[in-house]
Amino acid sequence: MHKANLNLLPTLKVLLETRNISRAAELLHLSQPSISKQLNQLRGEFGDELLVREGQRWLLTPRAESLAAALADPLGALARLYEAPGFEPARCERVFRLASSDYVAQHILPDICAALARAAPLAALEYSLWDKRQLPQLWQSELDLVSTITELVPDQIRGLHQGEDRLVMLMGRHHPLSGTAPTLEDYLAWPHLQVSGGGDKDSPVEQVLMPQGLSRRWFARVPFFQAAVEVLLRTDCLMTTPAHIAWQLSQEHGLSFCDLPFATRTQQYHLLWHQRHHQDPAHQWFRELAYPFLREHLQRTLGESRKQLAESRKQLDESHKPLGRS
């Protein structure tokens, strides 16, 4: 059995109260290197990072927050302090917080909720729409998990890669371009629609068009995919969106999609969380529950979209073949 080093407890208490190595060194009349060394020892004692650096500040992990509460209660605190944190889903009453787009809310969240209700019936889930511009401030958010598109994952952010997709052109089946192979001129000739909720998914297009001095004519920007579907069904707008989303929406509505007339960088999908949650047993359990649903949906719909695009290209090639001689 591991023997606890109780000599480190004064340092632990001051570190948890000040969240500052320099200030802890002053209060304990020790050098900063000495405090840093003791912090590393404490991390080994508890099997947790305890304090995580975020820019110029230090954040407490969930385990550190529980230790701070235990140290504030002198009766029985020492006995509870070194108990390994346990997690029993059936007894969990935590509110898990997940953020992503309204597309995820409609097509993936119900599966996550059903699994959560079966395994942890006393727990709850709070879902919110995500704007990827908030990613650098994730440290100060109450969110547990974020499913989003991003190229760069900031320091102190952990994650799992769900997969990648590419952009396509989505439109109503009534659109003159439906069932064709549009050119760049075609793409620019029609009004465009954008889903603004969940972050800007169209920035790769601007990276292609802007160096050429080209731009799209915007008709509307709407916050939700369902609103975008209704606009596409009633107008001649085009919408640039990831292929797996285009395939899913085209299965449910009178929409069609095709390749863009130019190449763009791929869209990288990640499930992200802040480093301070990484070793929290409840958080680890929840992300292991949610991740398979997110990845499986992306991979399945992505595969279907590729098959449909390949079939569409084949049909177009055959329709343009010259007639054979009799």
- 212-237 residue pLDDT tens: 999 999 999 999 999 999 999 999 99
Mean pLDDT of all residues in the chain? 87
pLDDT for res 174: 97
Which of 71-75, 86-90, 138-142 is predicted least confidently? Answer: 71-75
Distance between CA atoms of residues 194 and 249, nearest Å: 15
Q: What is the pLDDT of residue 326?
A: 42
pLDDT tier at 83, thresholds 50, 70, 90: low
Mean per-residue pLDDT, 146-155: 86
- Predicted confidence band at 129 (pLDDT cuts at 50, 70, 90)? very high
Give the Cα separation of 291 and 301 in Å (integer): 16
Q: Is the pLDDT of residue 324 over 70?
A: no
Residue 103 has which token pair?
């597309």
At residue 12, the pLDDT reads 84
Terminal CA-CA length for the chain: 90
Residue 71 has pLDDT above 80, yes or no: no
Question: How many Cβ atoms sit within 10 Å of the Cβ of residue 326?
Answer: 3
Residue 201 has what pLDDT? 56
CA distance 8 to 284: 28
pLDDT value for 74? 58
Q: In the predicted model, what is the mean pLDDT of residues 197-225?
A: 86
Q: Tokens standing for 129?
A: 């729409």
- Given a cut of 70, whether residue 77 has pLDDT beyond it is no
pLDDT digits (tens, 9 = 90+) for 9-67: 778 888 888 888 888 877 777 778 888 888 888 888 888 888 888 777 788 888 888 88
Q: Are 268 and 165 in contact (CB under 8 A)?
A: no
Angle subtended by helix axes 281-319 and 109-119, to nearest 10: 150
Of the listed ranges 49-53, 187-191, 286-290, the least confidently predicted one is 49-53
Q: Does the structure show a pLDDT above 70 at 322?
A: no
* C-alpha angle 259-263-266 in degrees, rounded to nearest 5: 90
Backbone angles phi, psi at 6, to 5 degrees: -70, -15
Under 8 Å between Cβ of 178 and 204: no
Q: Give the least confident one: 56-60, 290-294, 295-299.
A: 56-60
Task: Select the more confidently predicted residue: 92 or 135.
Answer: 92
Cβ atoms of residues 282 and 94 within 8 Å: yes
Of 59-63, 82-86, 155-159, least confident by mean pLDDT is 82-86
Per-residue model confidence as pLDDT tens digits over 165-184 = 999 999 999 999 999 999 99
**Lookup: tokens for 160:** 């799992």
Reading the block at residue 124, the tokens are 């709850």
Please state, in angstroms and rounded to a whole number, the distance separating the CA atoms of residues 117 and 274.
25
Q: Is pLDDT larger for residue 301 or for residue 5?
A: 301
pLDDT at residue 321 greater than cutoff 70: no
Burial of 249 (0-12, 13-18, 19+ CB in 10 A): buried
Average pLDDT over residues 75-89: 62
